[in-house]
Structure formats: C-alpha cells, structure tokens
Amino acid sequence: MRYLLDNDVFFAAIYDRHTLHVLARKWLDAAKPAGWGIASETYLAAVRLLMNPAVMKSGQLTAAQALHAIGAELGGRHPGQMVMAQRKPDPKLLKMATGHKRVMDFWLAQIAADHGCKLATNDGGLAVAWPNIAEKIS
C-alpha cells in the first residue's frame, strides 16, 4: 500500500458536492493502482459525515446507504485496504499537537508511518509538519 487517505481526501472523493470533490476524485483514481487504504478511524468518520444532515443537507444517507457507498469505493478494480493501528498512540507524537484538531491528524500520520506509506491529505499544515509521512494531494 502506497497511500493511506486522510478523511479530508476520502470524504471529498466520495461526496460529489464537496468543494474538493473533483480534485480528490482525480487524485484517488490516479493513485489507486499504486495501492491505497483508509484507517478504521477514516472509515467511521466517513460514515458519520455521510449520515450528518448538517454536512449533507437534505441528502444525508442512512447507515446502510453510507456503508454501501464506502464499500463500493473500497471495492473495484483497485480495492482499498482497511488498516488498523499496530500500536497505541505515541504520547511523544500526540504531545506535539498544537490543538485539538491536530490529534487525529498526528494519529493518522503515526498509522501511515507504521504501515510504511504516505498519508494523503488536503491539509497543507499536516504535510509541512510531517514532510516524510504526509503528502498534500494536488
């Protein structure tokens, strides 16, 4: 697996009304042959967002529909892997988080590093903080 997707990339790729959908979709389709996956945390975040009326407006999905949409993306010609953390969060790593929004970012960076792949993200700050692990899609 070459890429682990941050939720900002994965969700944008599967939600066609997302402002970054075209960019994320194009990037993911090009990256799939190299091998890709999502962490269990990203899977659950995508389910939650697809079911959230504040995010999806009147088009929120049921749990069954959200699971189907995610399953369809993970399947296909170049299926994505579902990865789990290999160890507990590294306190040294998490202590470097400068705010509550960075905790999950740094956790996904740890999972990507543990699996020997890049964390694909739309977050330029994450790519700057972890240049050897995180890569901003373009």
CB 41 within 8 A of CB 33: no
Q: Where are the domains of the chain?
A: 3-136
Mean pLDDT by 10-residue block, N- to C-terminus, for the chain (138 residues)?
97 96 98 98 97 93 97 96 92 80 87 96 89 93
What pLDDT is attached to residue 93? 77
CB-based burial of residue 27 (10 Å sphere; 0-12 exposed, 13-18 middle, 19+ buried)? buried
Architecture of the domain whose range is 3-136: 3-Layer(aba) Sandwich (3.40)
What pLDDT is attached to residue 105? 87
Estimate the crossing angle of helix 7-14 against helix 21-31, to 10 degrees: 100
From residue 138, alpha-carbon distances to 9, 20, 57, 75, 120 in Å are: 11, 11, 27, 24, 10
3-state DSSP percent of the chain in helix, strand and coil, to 5: 55, 10, 30
